[in-house]
Structure 1
């Protein structure tokens, strides 16, 4: 009888075992432990970076600022407070908006932050630039709709505006200016 025939008749025949050396065992054990110790922090950091991107975006908060019948075509500065949560630190942040009506009677609100370097613009802040927003830091100025005329590279941002059934104006999130082309 040949070896092949013997193998077919006795399938449970013992095969030669290769034993693992002590060096291989330590190598596998230390390699696995090292991979685990490196992999877990990488996994947590990856989750930390990706998790905010996967969160469902909620609509912003609305802030009651002024009665609609008090808004005129002349822009007026309105200050309001926003509740801010930054990690474990909670605070009230003072915000500002320039609110006015356009020729059609629609209420709009612009951010006072200059698009040049972030200074605060003022309406009629310079006698040389009447009926314009003016930035005292570097001379940027804007039209009543927020269109940049000099120095700044972009128009003033605008707030999302909502008027409720009781005649109050609410301001929401800041967005890029949609009033100018």
Structure 2
């Protein structure tokens, strides 16, 4: 005599089997998507690489726009892109490397581009203006100063890293 309560019916067996197979297939489909989503978080931030831009003895008191190549990583795509900086010596004889990207909407600023804004950085898109040291002028659209590049000097050569927001102007 067999005990009917301990036996699994055909319907229950099929239900358990299909639930298990469906769960396994669902997990197999979701696992790669979860891995794809969290992989960039697990990679961490790359160390700042410094790139040669110019010799220190070439730097003058007048801002010069210099373009330099950097390695850029977007997710898994790596490429070389050009960055540029306005580089000059301040009145205190310090080297200042400013990003040309306007902090208002990301347009490119120019030096002394209009006679009425002499000795200023000017953004033609919305009339943003900055002093020679890259500080935003009150009453114009930008709400913060131009970003500055991290810099190192090695063997008389200026090396620039990434552009960072200023803590103080």
- How far, CA to CA, are the matches of 1:179 and 1:122 in structure 2? 22
Aligned with residue 148 of structure 1, among 132, 136, 143 = 136
Aligned with residue 72 of structure 1, among 45, 60, 70 = 60
Could you say what secondary structure the match of 1:128 adopts? helix
1:174 aligns with 2:158: no
1:35 aligns with 2:42: no
- How far, CA to CA, are the matches of 2:135 and 2:165 in structure 1? 11
2:153 paired residue number: 163
Which is greater in Rg? Answer: 1
Distance change in 2, residues 1:106/1:178 (3 Å): farther
Instruction: State the 1:36 CA deviation.
Output: 1.6
2:92 paired residue number: 104
Spell out, residue by residue over 1:37-81, the C-alpha distance to the aligned partner (whole angstroms, 9 max, x if none): 222332322222222222243312211011111112221101112
1:128 aligns with 2:116: yes
Q: Which runs of 5+ in 1 are unaligned?
A: 1-14
- How far, CA to CA, are the matches of 1:50 and 1:135 in structure 2? 38
- How far, CA to CA, are the matches of 1:119 and 1:100 in structure 2? 21
Instruction: State the 1:177 CA deviation.
Output: 2.1
Greater shift after overlay, 111-120 or 41-50? 41-50
1:45 paired residue number: 33
Q: Report the aligned-residue RMSD.
A: 2.2
TM-score, normalization: structure 1?
0.81
Kept in 1, the 8 Å contact 2:40–2:75? The answer is no
- How far, CA to CA, are the matches of 1:105 and 1:178 in structure 2? 20
